[in-house]
Chains A and B, each alone.
Chain A
Amino acid sequence: MPAKKSSTLKNAFPIILLTIVVTVCVSILTFVDSLTRDKISAQEDEAVKALLSEMFPGMSHFEYQDEIYTIYADGDQIGYAFLAVGNGYGGDINILVGLEDETTIKGITIASQSETPGLGTRIAEPAFTDQFAGLAISDVSLSRDGGQIDAITSSTISSSAVVEAVSQTAMEKVKQLKENQ
C-alpha cells in the first residue's frame, strides 16, 4: 500500500479490502452453487431410484410420502421402503430398508456409512445384507440374541447398529402404515 495517504483512508483500507474479497468470494460461491445445484439434487434422486429399483427389480415408479416410499409395478403395489439411521462406530449409518408387506423384510441396502474401512464397512457387503432378505421383522436381531443375523467378526458395534436400526424403524413404519389405512 502506498505510504502517504490520509490516515482515515489508510485505516479504512483493510476493511474495504476485506469487504471486497468477501463480496467477490460470495459471488463466486453463488455462481458455482447455481451451476451444481441441479446436478447434485438429480444425482441424489438418481441414487435413491437406483437403490430402490435394485431392491424391487419390477419397480415401475414410486411415491414418497411421510418418509415412506411406496413401490409400484405397473399399478400394483409391491412393497414399501424407508430410511433407517443406525448409530454406528464411526457415525450415522443410513440404511434403505425394503418391506415386502407389513411383516416381511424385502431387503436392506447400506446407503451411506462411515465405519472403519475393512472392518465395519463390511456391513455394506452382500454377505451381511443378504441375511435380511425375506426375514420376518420380529426375527431381525443378532444370532447371539436369538435372532437370525450373524454379526461380522470384530465389527459387532457396526453389525448391531444396523440390526437395531432396521428392526426398530421397521416396527415404527409398520405401525405408521397401519394407522394410515
Chain B
Amino acid sequence: MGNGKFAKEFAKGIILANPVFVLALGLCPTLAISTSIDNALGMTLAVLIVLLGSNIIIALIRNFVPNITRIPIFIVIIATLVTVVNLIFHAYLPATYEALGIFLPLIVVNCIILGRAEAFASKNPVASSIADALGITVGFMLALLMISFIRQVLGTGGLSVFGHDLFTLPGLRDHPIAIFILPYGAFLVIGLLMGLFRRTGVMKNE
C-alpha cells in the first residue's frame, strides 16, 4: 500500500467520516465524559489502544472468520482488549481510571469500535486498518476536545488541565452556566457543533 492510500484512510476519519459529528457513533461516552479536557484525553487514550488493537487483530483474521460467528468473535476480541486496558489503567493510571469510571469498561459496546471492525477492518488489509484506526481516533479526540473545551469553560468558568489552571473567566467563575456541565448540555453542544459543521459545509452527511 502506498503512502497516499494510508494518508487517505487516516485523513478520512478526521473530517469526512468523523466518528462523532458525521458517523454519530460513540455518542454515549462522548456525552458522558466530555465534561473536562482531562477526561477527553483519558478516553482518547483508551479508545486508541482498543481500536488499534481490534482493527489489527480483526484485519489479520478477517479471511478465516466465517460470517456466522463474525460478531461473537469480534466482541470477544474487543472485550478482551477493553478488559486489558481497564486493568492496566487501574494499575498504572489510577486517577484516569477513577475519572472515566464506568465509561472505561463500556468501551466494549462503544459502536465506534465494533463499527470500524465491521465496516472496515473485516474487509481491509492490516495497514489500511491501522490508518483507519488512527484517523478515527484523531477524529474522536478532536471532537471530544472541542466539546469538552466548550462545556468545561462555560460550565465551570475556566479551564484546568491535569491540575494546572490555564485560565479563568472572572464573571463565569462565580456564575458558571451549569447547564453545559450537565448531561443535556452535552446534547446542546454536540447538536450546535454538528449544525455548524454542516451549515458551513465542513462536514457532510455520508
Contact = CB atoms under 8 A, between A and B. Distances in A.
Contacts of A14: 66, 68-69
B91 A17 contact: no
Main secondary structure of the interface of B (DSSP, over half): helix
Interface of B: 35-36, 64-66, 68-69, 72-73, 76-77, 79-80, 83-84, 87-88, 90-92, 94, 98, 101, 152, 155-156, 176, 178, 181-182
A117 B181 contact: yes
Interface stretch (A20-28, A71-79, A96-104, A139-147): A20-28
B98 A112 contact: yes
Contacts of B36: 117
A180 interface: no
Contacts of B155: 117-118
A21 to B, nearest CB: 5
A114 interface: yes
B193 to A, nearest CB: 19
23 contacts: A1-B64, A15-B69, A17-B65, A17-B69, A22-B76, A25-B76, A25-B79, A28-B80, A32-B84, A32-B87, A36-B90, A40-B87, A40-B90, A43-B90, A43-B94, A114-B101, A116-B182, A117-B35, A117-B152, A117-B156, A117-B181, A119-B178, A154-B178
A140 B64 CA distance: 65
